[in-house]
Amino acid sequence: MAGVTTYNAKDVIVVMGAHQVHGFSDDTMVTIASHGDGFSLYVGAQGEVARNVDQDETCEITLSLAQTSSSNDFLSALHLADKKTGKGMVPLAIKDLSGNTTFYAAQAWVTQFPEKSLGKEVTNIDWTINTGKATTFIGGNN
């Protein structure tokens, strides 16, 4: 019988360049999505089966921040600098310290300014980050 495991959102660390991202939204904080298909399936006319390994190891990361987070300032400045100089690629690391999930890309960049709405309540801002070759491990929790 398995023991009780624990997940703690406070143990999820996101570091982009030298900046530790903080001020996440109250629901989803980080989404990691592979651009590649992993394996694609081929089935021939007579039923022969093969698979193809997709070599695309790039990812799209969504960071969901509260509009009050000062990390919005960092991501805005990074994106503006990238548009001006083309030198806005930085390393991105994500680690769940209460578990085994890890992500790393040596090159990551903000794709564009996110959609933003202002109203009576604090809203979320979803930043889309693209990466070069990335390493992902989705693990359980301790």
DSSP 60-124: EEEEEEETT-THHHHHHHHHHHHHHHS---EEEEEEETTBS-EEEEEEEEE-SPPP----SS--E
At 117 the pLDDT is 87
Segment (H or E) for 55 = none
What does the pLDDT profile of the chain (142 residues) look like in tens digits?
A: 578 999 999 999 999 999 999 999 998 999 999 999 899 999 999 999 999 999 999 999 999 999 999 999 999 999 999 999 999 999 999 999 999 999 999 999 999 999 988 899 999 999 999 999 999 999 999 8
> What CA–CA distance (Å, rounded) separates 134 from 57?
6
At 1 the pLDDT is 53
- pTM for the full predicted model: 0.90
Q: Answer yes or no: are the C-beta atoms of 71 and 114 closer than 8 Å.
A: no
Asked whether residue 13 is domain-assigned, the answer is yes
Rg (CA), the chain: 18
Asked whether residue 106 is domain-assigned, the answer is yes
Residue 56's alpha-carbon distances to 36, 38, 66, 116, 124, in angstroms, are 5, 8, 31, 31, 30
Q: Answer yes or no: are the C-beta atoms of 37 and 58 closer than 8 Å.
A: no
In this structure, which amino acid lies at residue 91? P
Asked whether residue 2 is domain-assigned, the answer is no
Asked whether residue 93 is domain-assigned, the answer is yes
Asked whether residue 131 is domain-assigned, the answer is yes
Output the domain CATH number for residue 112: 2.30.110
Grouping H, G, I as helix, E, B as strand and the rest as coil, residue 11 is: helix
Which domain, by its residues, includes 23? 9-137
At 15 the pLDDT is 98
Per the structure, the count of domains in the chain is 1
